[in-house]
Amino acid sequence: MSHGLLKGKKGIIFGALNEQSIAWKAALKAREEGAELVLTNTPLSLRLGTMDQLAEQCNALVVPADATSVEDLEGLVDKAMEHFGGQIDFVLHSVGMSPNIRKNKPYEYTNYDFFFKTLDISALSLHKVLGVLYKKDALKEWGSVVALSYIAAQRTFEGYNDMADAKALLESIARSFGLLYGKKAHVRVNTISQSPTRTSAGSGISGMEDMFAYADALSPLGNASASDCADYIVTLFSDLTKHVTMQNLYHDGGFSSTGLNAEVVETYTKGLKKD
């Protein structure tokens, strides 16, 4: 059911690869709430993925761009502003990739060229996106930028590898730019720290299924799905959250605040007694 929360708003959405992607669900939800959209991803992802279907469903313009290329980002923002006939209300940065994880390089044996790539794609790209928007004065007053993070930025999750460092940097960039863009044009910048979610990016993490089950059991509300995340994203693009900025917002069913959950301990101790 639509509430018209984004009626008349125009936004760019990065990172819809396939139907599982958080960005895919967010695009559908934003459209349902009345937004006009430009969708973007790398040329390779556009070839491998199914974003054309989404573009048709959302009546959106597709503009290929590598989020690590300032030149591509400048072209993207110019095309989006031309398409919308003016400034942009919101941007979703739903981008992440670690070559170290892809190539099964453990953290202690990291490949530093890969590490730089992880940081560039998964964190610096947010700086580049915000930098281009800022310099082109592309966002409207009270605009909103959201990027997706994970709790491994605060606490160590074995197997999350160099993505943990990238997420810590991503959250810091959101705060630093949130200050500057807030002063310039009341633009808010936040990160959402999402539950483990079954997507292409998620499935690359070692032990993802166990991590998913553990987080689901520990969280009093269970894991938040990609669709739940899309709902939350839309609220942050809406005018109902105008003074929320420079925050890392947990969207994780309570996982981040739970120390001990009796049922999880019982399952663990039962397992020990069997051994």
As beta bridge partners, residue 188 has 144
- The site for ligand NAD, by CB under 6 A, has a size of 27
Contact yes or no for 139/145 (Cβ under 8 A):
yes
Per CB under 6 A, the segment of 3-11, 171-179, 200-208, 230-238 that binds ligand NAD is 200-208
Instruction: At 144, give phi and psi (nearest 5°).
Output: -140, 130
Nearer CB in complex with ligand NAD: 140/193: 193
HSE, CB side, 13 Å, CA atoms: give it for residue 110: 18
Decide: is 253 part of the binding site for ligand NAD (CB under 6 A): no
Nearer CB in complex with ligand NAD: 50/185: 50
As beta bridge partners, residue 249 has 192
**Among 250, 72, 68, which Cα is nearest to 148's?**
250
Decide: is 148 part of the binding site for ligand NAD (CB under 6 A): yes
HSE, CB side, 13 Å, CA atoms: give it for residue 37: 30
150 is catalytic: yes
Decide: is 201 part of the binding site for ligand NAD (CB under 6 A): yes
Decide: is 42 part of the binding site for ligand NAD (CB under 6 A): yes
Cα dist from 115 to 3, 101, 157, 249, whole Å: 42, 10, 17, 26
160 is catalytic: yes
Decide: is 17 part of the binding site for ligand NAD (CB under 6 A): yes
Q: Which of residues 81-140 bind ligand NAD (CB under 6 A)?
A: 94-97, 121
Binding footprint of ligand NAD on the chain (CB under 6 A): 14-15, 17, 21-23, 41-42, 45, 66-68, 94-97, 121, 148-150, 194, 196-197, 199-202
